[in-house]
């Protein structure tokens, strides 16, 4: 979604609006949401376990974002600053209840249909009855679980999804386990290293004593959960639309090099959309490459190959087989500026040997420039991800100007020809002028 799409609706709640004006705006926005659902033969969402999920179309997400912004404005005005801060600072205790419920398997022990007594839940989970009931009843205030009859727990729509969707459950659990614990040491880490930021000078390292990727190499059980969590996060708010639709793939001929492509799921998706192209998936991890080979399907098998290659090492010269394009997707934000310059510099030999018409596509979050007006909730979403990078890797999300500065530092010939998209899935089209 482009930032401009929701600016007009958000402008109605800017400045110093009255409670009644915001409420009237909420009514009109709610009517628009209802009309959309009715026109598309979609059921309205409810709190019941079997409620349908809201759609994820661009039009609905725009309506949703606008309504959520107005609802938040109304709540903040009604609460006042002190009440808001009280809710904000006690959020950690709500999270503590959710963390306990995850670690004691409450979400999987409560049956998908029917209910379970508090006594049985406590016994099966391995926690005493008193604290089991206190944790569950805390979560019920957030509509996680339900207690339709005293002493018996059943699922709500929000808790049922954590039973049925293992990847989403892993996303929530890893966020509250290693990442939240690291976040709690952010002030300690930044005071210790006020002028340095990389994988060994960040809150994750301060808390856990290892860089993130080395930590997961040491603890395979948590690495497995992390892998599922990343798959869950991808389904929550990442997609391939901007990459697939904004760039003219039909004009390319030959082989696309997917740098740091992991198991190759993006190359596989692009290969299905553009059958005239071949792809080579590069990754340093042999495990990721092996996983890619295992999930490769017959419809693209002949057009996708895998190669072990670190993106910190220079790309192979391709004079005999020039690349059609180089793709770096969702990698840049994992690295500090110094490391990203090295990655950008490593692409140069491949671009030089493939010709000046070969695009280098950077598919990553592109942050708003200072002073640029974005819808507040959209900007908050991506700034939350920026904080994840700061905490976990000592890395960051970047604006177009920041990308441009690092590209020029890597090689003065780099030029950003076009920004196809900004926001959660930005797309930069870059060339090496020769």
Please give the full DSSP string across 58-90, using - where no structure is assigned.
Answer: HHHHHHHHHHHHHHHHHHHHHHHHHHHHHHHHT
DSSP H or E segment with residue 400: helix 400-410
333 labelled catalytic: yes
- Tokens representing residue 333 in the block: 């934000």
36-55 per-residue burial string, b: 16 or more CB within 10 A, e: under 16: bbeeeeeeeeeeebebeeeb
Gap between the Cα atoms of 363 and 427, Å rounded: 5
List 280's β-bridge partners, or say none: 257, 305
DSSP H or E segment with residue 385: helix 376-393
Gap between the Cα atoms of 131 and 206, Å rounded: 31
Phi-psi region of 264 (alpha: psi -120 to 50; beta: other; left: phi over 0): left
Catalytic residue of the set 201, 208, 333, 420: 333
Gap between the Cα atoms of 34 and 54, Å rounded: 11
Q: What is the CA radius of gyration of the chain?
A: 24
Residues taking part in catalysis: 333
């Amino acid at each position: 979604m482009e930032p401009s799409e929701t600016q007009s609706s958000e402008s109605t709640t800017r400045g110093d609006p009255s409670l009644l004006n915001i409420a009237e705006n909420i009514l009109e926005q709610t009517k628009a949401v209802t009309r959309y659902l009715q026109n598309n033969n979609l059921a309205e969402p409810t709190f019941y376990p079997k409620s349908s999920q809201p759609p994820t179309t661009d039009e609905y997400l725009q309506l949703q974002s606008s309504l959520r912004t107005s609802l938040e404005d109304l709540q903040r005005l009604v609460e006042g600053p002190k009440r808001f801060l009280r809710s904000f600072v006690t959020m950690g205790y709500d999270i503590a209840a959710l963390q306990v419920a995850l670690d004691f398997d409450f979400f999987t022990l409560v049956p998908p249909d029917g209910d379970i007594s508090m006594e049985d839940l406590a016994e099966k989970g391995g926690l005493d009855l008193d604290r089991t009931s206190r944790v569950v009843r805390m979560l019920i205030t957030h509509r996680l679980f339900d207690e339709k009859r005293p002493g018996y727990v059943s699922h709500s729509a929000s808790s049922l999804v954590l039973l049925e969707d293992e990847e989403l459950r892993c996303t929530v659990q890893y966020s509250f386990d290693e990442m939240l614990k690291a976040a709690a040491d952010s002030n300690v880490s930044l005071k210790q290293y006020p002028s340095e930021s990389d994988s060994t000078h960040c809150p994750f390292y301060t808390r856990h004593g290892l860089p993130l990727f080395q930590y997961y190499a040491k603890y395979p059980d948590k690495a497995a959960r992390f892998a599922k969590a990343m798959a869950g996060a991808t389904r929550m708010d990442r997609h391939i639309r901007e990459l697939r639709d904004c760039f003219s793939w039909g004009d390319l001929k030959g082989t696309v090099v997917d740098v740091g492509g992991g198991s190759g799921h993006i190359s596989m998706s692009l290969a299905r959309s553009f059958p005239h192209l071949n792809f080579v998936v590069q990754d340093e991890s042999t495990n990721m490459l092996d996983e890619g080979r295992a999930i490769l399907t017959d419809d693209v098998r002949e057009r996708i190959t895998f190669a072990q290659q670190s993106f910190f090492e220079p790309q192979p010269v391709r004079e005999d087989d020039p690349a059609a394009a180089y793709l770096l997707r969702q990698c840049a934000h994992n690295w500090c500026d110094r490391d990203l310059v090295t990655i950008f510099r490593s692409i140069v030999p491949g671009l030089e040997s493939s010709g000046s018409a070969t695009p280098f596509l950077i598919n990553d979050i592109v942050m708003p420039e200072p002073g640029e007006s974005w819808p507040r909730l959209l900007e908050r979403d991506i700034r939350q991800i920026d904080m994840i990078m700061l905490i976990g890797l000592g890395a960051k999300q970047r604006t177009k100007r920041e990308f441009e500065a690092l590209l020029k530092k890597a090689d003065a010939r780099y030029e950003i020809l076009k920004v196809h998209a900004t926001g959660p899935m930005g797309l930069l089209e870059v060339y090496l002028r020769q």
